[in-house]
Amino acid sequence: MSGGVDSAVAAARAVEAGHDVVGVHLALSRAGGTLRTGSRGCCTVEDAMDARRVADKIGIPFYVWDFSERFRDDVIDDFVAEYRAGRTPNPCMRCNEKIKFQALLERAIELGFDAICTGHYATLVEGDGGLELHRSSEEAKDQSYVLGVLTAEQLRHTMFPLGETPSKSIVRAEAAERGFSVAKKPDSYDICFIPDGDTRGYLAEKVGAETGDIVDRSGSVIGSHEGAHAFTVGQRKGLSIGRPAPDGKPRFVLEIRPVTNEVVVGPKEALAVAEISGARFSWAGAAPAQREFACEVQIRAHADPVPAVAVVADDALVITPDEPLDGVATGQTAVVYVGTRVLGQCTIDRTVSAVPA
Amino acid sequence: MIYLDHAATTRLRDEVRDAWLDAQGVVGNASSVHGAGQNARRVLEEARESFAITVGAEPIEVIFTSGGTESVGLGLQGLWRRRARGRDLIVLPDGEHHATLDTVSWLERSERARIAPVALDAVGRIRADAFHDALTGAALATALVAGNETGTINDAARLSEAAARADVPLHLDAVAALGRTRVDFAAWRGDAPSGGGLVAMSASGHKIGAPVGTGALVVSRTARIEPMLHGGGQQRGIRAGTQDVAGAVALARAAELAEQERDAEATRLEALRAGFVSGLGRRIPSAVVLGDPHHHLPSTVHVLLPGAAGESVLFLLDQRGISVSTGSACQAGVAEPSHVVMALGYSAVEARQVVRISMGRDTTAADLDALEDALVDAYERLRS
């Protein structure tokens, strides 16, 4: 129970469905502020109080459990390390993978619980081969992407009461009906441990901002930057190069090289990626029967899924989209779907350009 | 429901409730000149005299406050702001309550106070020699009479004596001590020089069966204390504000009753404690009872359960209707590993594996048997 409206309604529905429910607010940040300032970030003392009041209203016990150390190690440190390595991490995936559905789930099972219930918009379906994770009924609010990292064992211990609800506004209306003061509370977005939303500033502090070169694909230095972490593959803005490209077209970030502190730029066509792969992959349920299969791949929470072919190699999941993808950064998660079903995911560690340099 | 967190707060005593309600019927501002005011004043001053007797002070030395936190804050910032010229050091033992820590830390941040820490020994007692050494040239010193987490009782007489010899004003936090171990302001102050030695002592009502919102700061006649509240100049100008007559009556009555029962309760609780500790030692051999085995509040048992998260133990016990604590109740927001346990030399990980059990007037042997069983079950589950 984050103090948000989704987890509030999810908890209420779980109680109504007859489950024995306890509300838990995760204390993840040591430096948690007191009051919410705007809709960014999460988990101030005020958020914990909002969650507590919802628990009071629905009549369930409420606890605040401290996972801040594990969160720091598994999510925050990983976030910084990935940027330092020139990759673009997704901390929400790591949090789901390591904290919400691992550390918290382990403790829950240890304490005698059967499942973790959250306000995520996703559905669980009992399929022929076992439990399956599917998109929610509303594409716009579907959060199956961030849950793509869950395993079959984890899925067996989850509940998503909001998955079938066609719209978020229905959930808000229900919250209002139930007398929850959080009915009107804005959603939190951005990264929960960077409450002011200034990721760039945060990284400058943690990774350090060192001036370096902006180079083209041939290696010529064409400009300078004040910190490689401020860039992500596919980015167009923020490049202070000064002189236009020979072809007059805009330049995009193609690659970040942390060792040499260089940012490589080039034309939009050079962003096109023909193949992505990742050595770290998992299946959200039973592993696929075939080694090679048609699917859809989604590389960001709000990106459209695109048709692709996936191959399960010995040491990696290799995904070849039917059409080249633009702006794929290593570190991102590729979630593989078949229809509405989440098949699994990999953390992208290798991309193959569609255009030879 | 088996409530074993009396160190956090305890039930309002029936006699105290009755006395408080009675006093609510006395209408009059104790500062008013007329008959109604005089009457309220009389009731108030009788309460002050009674409380003074209980804590070993003169009535003029008793300042009624809204509770322990206000008393500690008033005492510390008050002594700081009237400190001797040229001194900026605050002698601060490890493991003090957050009311003390946060106040001192605020003074450090905003008024350039410097801190002279004093280590605790392995059982949580303030090292008297280290305390003595730290006093040289200090602006003020503070110390717990008894710890709210470990229950360890310090040698208040010796600490006061050291402060007197060093001519440094000392504040004692008696919030956890009052009613549970001997508290004697005059005896500890002795014949310390004016403005030095023991000059202030904090107490809280809701810890001893008075309502939340009652407390006192004992302030010696010659102490120099800057007030926090300004207004009507009540209580020697040290704590302005219309005086809470009923609150004072409640506090005084609770303190009187607690003191009357203290010896008998100490014997009773010590026996319960010893039985529990020995049972626990047999059934969970790895459990460590923290604090001083000889100088401790008989009501408190502070246990380290290696490998079991205190949060989880608390939850499992709560599910069985048994209320215990993992540390001081007063840490808002994120639960911190107990700084007190770390002051004993344990790691941050271990400091999260502690459970504090504190008994009260209504605690029975059956309660502790149930606690013991529940702890054993919880420990087995968490260690499997």
φ and ψ at residue B170, rounded to 5 degrees: -120, 135
Tell me the chain B residues in contact with residue A111 when contact means C-beta distances shorter than 8 Å.
312, 315-316, 381
Q: Which residues are paired to A223 by β-bridges? A: A214
Q: Fold match between A5-119+161-184 and A271-353?
A: no
Chain B: nearest CA to A108, how far in angstroms? 9
Mean pLDDT for all residues in chain B: 95
What's the pLDDT at B252? 98
Q: How far apart are CA B68 and CA B176, in angstroms?
A: 10
Q: Which listed CATH number (1.20.1050.10, 3.40.50.720, 3.40.50.620, 3.90.550.10) goes with A5-119+161-184? A: 3.40.50.620
pLDDT of residue A309 exceeding 70: yes
**Sorting pLDDT into bands at 50, 70 and 90, what band is B332?**
very low
Mean pLDDT value across chain A: 90
Please, are residues A131 and A124 in contact by the beta-carbon 8 Å criterion?
yes
If you average pLDDT over residues B41-66, what whole number do you get?
97
Q: Are B231 and B348 in a shared domain?
A: no
The pLDDT assigned to B330 comes to: 45
Reply yes or no on whether the pLDDT at A282 is more than 80: yes
Could you tell me which residue, B75 or A129, shows the higher pLDDT?
B75
Task: Clarify whether residues B115 and B139 are in a common domain.
Answer: yes
pLDDT at A38 > cutoff 80: no
> B216 and B286, same structural domain?
no
pLDDT of residue B329: 53
- What's the whole-number mean pLDDT along residues A192-213? 86
Counting the structural domains of chain B, the total is 2
Question: Given this model, what pLDDT does residue A231 score?
Answer: 86
Taking residues B55-66, what's their average pLDDT? 97
> Nearest CA to B330 among B141, B152, B204?
B204
Could you tell me if A44 and A32 are in contact, meaning their C-beta atoms sit under 8 angstroms apart?
yes
What is residue B206's three-state secondary structure? coil
Q: Decide: residue B359, CB within 10 A, 0-12 exposed, 13-18 middle, 19+ buried.
A: buried
Q: Does B312 touch chain A (CB under 8 A)?
A: yes
Q: Looking at A95, A117, A295, A346, which residue is catalytic?
A: A95
Domain boundary among B227, B256, B285: B256
Does residue B158 lie in a domain region? yes
Q: Please check whether residues B270 and B250 belong to one and the same domain.
A: no
By CA distance, what is A65's nearest residue in B?
Answer: B311
Domain boundary among B256, B284, B313: B256
**Are the Cβ atoms of B334 and A34 closer than 8 angstroms?**
no
Residue A45 sits at the chain B interface (C-beta within 8 Å): yes
Topology (CATH level 3) of domain A209-270: SH3 type barrels. (2.30.30)
Q: Are residues B162 and B224 in the same domain?
A: yes
User: Smallest Cα–Cα separation from A229: which of A82, A349, A83?
Assistant: A83
- Dihedral (C-alpha) A97, A103, A107, A109: value to the nearest 10 degrees? 30
Question: Is the pLDDT reported for residue A250 higher than 90?
Answer: no
- Say whether both B78 and B178 belong to one domain: yes
Q: Are A261 and A210 in contact (CB under 8 A)?
A: yes
Q: What is the pLDDT of residues A97-146, one digit of tens each?
A: 999 999 999 999 999 999 999 999 999 999 988 999 999 987 778 999 99
CATH code where residue B322 lies:
3.90.1150.10
The domain of B284 spans: 2-8+262-374
Instruction: Give yes or no: residues B194 and B267 share one domain.
Output: no
CA nearest neighbour of B68 among B40, B102, B44, B92 = B102
A346 a catalytic residue? no
Nearest CA in chain B to A31: B334
Closest CA to A343 of A97, A63, A152: A152
Please determine, for residue B31, whether its predicted confidence score (pLDDT) is greater than 80: yes
- Kindly state the average pLDDT of the residues B66-79: 98
Sequence ranges of the domains in chain A: 5-119+161-184, 209-270, 271-353
Q: Which residues of B touch A66 (CB under 8 A)?
A: 311, 334-335, 352
pLDDT at A237: 72
Tallying the residues shown for chain A, one arrives at: 357
Residues of B with a known catalytic role? 330
Cβ within 8 Å, pair A45-B315: no
Whether the per-residue pLDDT at A95 is higher than 90: the answer is yes
Residues B242 and B342 in one domain: no
Rounded to an integer, the average pLDDT of A74-78 is 95
Is B383 inside any structural domain?
A: no
Q: At what angle do helices B245-283 and B35-55 cross, to 10 degrees?
A: 30
Please compute the mean of the pLDDT values over residues A18-44 and round it to a whole number: 76
The percent of residues in chain B predicted with pLDDT above 70, rounded, is 98
Residue A112, chain B, CB below 8 Å: the answer is yes
A285-314: average pLDDT: 94
A139 versus B120: which is more confidently predicted? B120
| CB-based contact B381 A30, cutoff 8 Å | no
Q: Are residues B190 and B126 in the same domain?
A: yes
Q: Which of A66, A72, A107, A193 is most worth mutating to test chain B (most B CB atoms within 10 A of its CB)?
A: A66
Same domain, B57 and B168: yes
Q: Is the pLDDT of residue A28 over 50?
A: yes
For residue B250, the model assigns a pLDDT of 98
Average confidence (pLDDT) over B164-170: 97
Q: What is the dihedral of CA B273, B274, B275, B277, to 10 degrees?
A: 80
User: Does some domain include residue B382?
Assistant: no
Q: How far is CA A108 from CA A22, A24, A70, A149, A331, in A?
A: 10, 10, 16, 19, 30
Residues of chain B with C-beta less than 8 angstroms from the C-beta of A73: none
Most confident of A28-32, A220-224, A270-274, B176-180: B176-180
- The ipTM is 0.84
Tell me, yes or no, whether B379 lies in a domain.
Answer: no
In a domain, B381, yes or no: no
Q: Is A105 on the interface with B (CB under 8 A)?
A: no
Q: Where residue A37 falls among pLDDT bands split at 50, 70, 90? A: low
Residues B202 and B274 occupy one common structural domain = no
Tell me the CATH number at B212.
Answer: 3.40.640.10
Q: Which of A197-206, A284-293, B171-180, B275-284 has the lowest mean pLDDT?
A: A197-206
Domain boundary among B222, B239, B256: B256
pLDDT of residue A351: 92
B187 in the same domain as B89: yes
CB contact under 8 A, A65 and B311: yes
pLDDT per residue over A227-238, tens digit each? 888 888 888 877
**Cα separation, A291 vs A213, whole angstroms:** 42
Q: Say if the Cβ atoms of B312 and A107 lie within 8 Å.
A: yes
Which spans in chain B are helix H? 14-24, 35-55, 68-81, 98-111, 128-134, 156-166, 185-189, 245-283, 310-319, 339-343, 365-383
In angstroms and rounded to an integer, the radius of gyration of the C-alpha atoms of chain B is 21
Task: State the pLDDT at residue B331.
Answer: 47
CATH number of A271-353: 2.40.30.10
Give the β-pairing of B62-65 and A341-347: unpaired
